[in-house]
Amino acid sequence: MTHRKATIFTRRQFLRTLGVTAGALAAGPALSACGATALTAAPAATAVPPTAALTSVPAPTAVPTVAAPSLKIGVLLPYTDIYAALGENITAGMEMYFEEAGGVAGGRTIKVIKEDEGTAPDKALEKARKLVEQDEVDFVTGIVSSGVLAGVRDYFDSNKKLLICSNAGANALSRGAKTPYIWRTSFTNWQPNWPVGTWAAENVGKKAYISVPDYGAGANTITAFQNSFEAAGGTIIGVQKTPFPNMGDPAPFITELAAANPELVYCFYSGGAAVTFMKAWGELGLAGQIPLMSSGFMVEEDVLPAEGDAALGVRSGLHWALSLDNADNAKFTEAYKARTGKDANVFAVQGYDTGRAIVEMINAVEGDTSDVDALIDALGGISFPSPRGTFALDANSQAPKQHIYLREVQNVGGALHNVVIEDLGEIVDPGDDSKG
């Protein structure tokens, strides 16, 4: 496929163009007046009637209307492989908000250019380069995988190009690897796990076994949960790391967990991997026998129908729940179901909030995306009511400061859903590794 390079006018260039045109128009009447004076100074025999003098002056050239260029947003999300559903949900939520905003931000028509993130960091980096260098987008949003986020970090940092991450939670991007050019509208991996560790030790058991996929988000999950669980008097009796992106046969891993006889198992899986784990958990008889806790992605609304009754009773921490009682959530969940025919999930919420954050940012700079520092300043001041509660970005961690809700999978009207059983409070990433 060949790509035509579009001519992009920044708002500042546009305003300069108008300034030059306005100057020409201002000069026009003055030149006409000089011409008329010269004509009226001629001898009487050759004098030009006033009306003729007026009609002999050329009319000013009409100034064509220059439309503001489209706001080109690069979207890098997975549309294939194990996280495809997550990418589709984030996209649907984001596009839903863009439609609510009339498809316009800062006076510019929104144009979305999509690329498939996949799961391989090197391939995703190629797609990011394509969006920035060939499609010449104003900025990029997306990224589901923490590994991909780490893989594209240096490119956005060195090129001073803005990336608004709508999912991947790698802690380092809010800590040691933080760059002013990457902000998150989702979470850090520390946020949904750290408060649950304390709650689990105080309310469920003191001996836990952890199971996670062997990549960045899994490692962050281990550290966050272990830190708070042990601080509350708990002991981690084992850690299991499964192959990523595909677990393969889950039976050996479930068998290992059963043999350890822990007081609880704590997990992080998402998308297709979550379904694989939960089905095996039920089929091998552990459901209801060993308390299972997790970060909320493990039993989120997108995977619950496929997981079935094995998920009943699982408790998890997350920054949103379908049953969360606020007016914005009620409006959003109803509209999303009408649009897609499916219940909303946290990924759709993140996409929706990403869409709103983008529109608010572009409105704040009046459509001018030429100054990345101005975009960053605008992001730092964004706050609005959201389906998850109040959405606000923390300037230190460059991620949301948000409440984490302890949820339990229950049968609600014949269908499985997460029900909030406790608000664990507003959780703000510390911006360093002091708490795991």
> Is residue 35 scored above 50 in pLDDT?
no
What would the mean pLDDT of 338-366 be, rounded to a whole number?
A: 97
For residue 215, the domain's CATH number is 3.40.50.2300
Q: For residue 285, what pLDDT band results from cuts at 50, 70 and 90?
A: very high
> Is residue 62 scored above 80 in pLDDT?
no
Q: Examine the domain organization and report whether 287 and 350 are in the same domain.
A: no
Give the model confidence (pLDDT) of 147-177 as tens digits. 999 999 999 999 999 999 999 999 999 999 9
> Is residue 49 scored above 80 in pLDDT?
no
Cβ neighbours, 10 Å, residue 1: 3
End-to-end CA distance of the chain: 46
Q: Examine the domain organization and report whether 95 and 143 are in the same domain.
A: yes
**Angle, to 10 degrees, between the axis of helix 216-231 and the axis of helix 146-159?**
110
> Is residue 40 scored above 60 in pLDDT?
no
Residue 414 domain-assigned (yes or no): yes
Cα separation, 295 vs 366, whole angstroms? 39
Q: Examine the domain organization and report whether 364 and 227 are in the same domain.
A: no
> Is residue 406 scored above 90 in pLDDT?
yes
Residue 432 domain-assigned (yes or no): no
Give the model confidence (pLDDT) of 17-31 as tens digits. 333 333 333 333 332
Give the pLDDT confidence score for residue 68 in this predicted structure.
84
Q: Examine the domain organization and report whether 337 and 388 are in the same domain.
A: yes
Cα separation, 289 vs 293, whole angstroms? 13
Give the model confidence (pLDDT) of 75-124 as tens digits. 999 999 889 999 999 999 999 999 999 999 999 999 999 999 998 999 99
Cis before 245 (ω within 30): yes
Q: Examine the domain organization and report whether 395 and 409 are in the same domain.
A: no
Cα separation, 50 vs 70, whole angstroms? 48
> Is residue 270 scored above 60 in pLDDT?
yes
Give the pLDDT confidence score for residue 281 in this predicted structure.
97
Residue 25 domain-assigned (yes or no): yes
Give the pLDDT confidence score for residue 384 in this predicted structure.
97
Structure tokens at 234: 């708990």
Residue 35 domain-assigned (yes or no): yes
pTM above 0.95, yes or no: no
Q: Examine the domain organization and report whether 283 and 419 are in the same domain.
A: yes
Give the pLDDT confidence score for residue 59 in this predicted structure.
52
Q: Examine the domain organization and report whether 166 and 76 are in the same domain.
A: yes
Across all residues in the chain, what is the average pLDDT?
88
Residue 433 domain-assigned (yes or no): no
Give the model confidence (pLDDT) of 354-404 as tens digits. 999 999 999 999 999 999 999 999 999 999 999 999 999 999 999 999 999
Domain limits at 336? 71-187+325-400
Cα separation, 20 vs 56, whole angstroms? 25
Q: Examine the domain organization and report whether 330 and 241 are in the same domain.
A: no
Residue 6 domain-assigned (yes or no): no
Residue 61 domain-assigned (yes or no): no
Q: Examine the domain organization and report whether 210 and 149 are in the same domain.
A: no
Q: For residue 54, what pLDDT band results from cuts at 50, 70 and 90?
A: very low
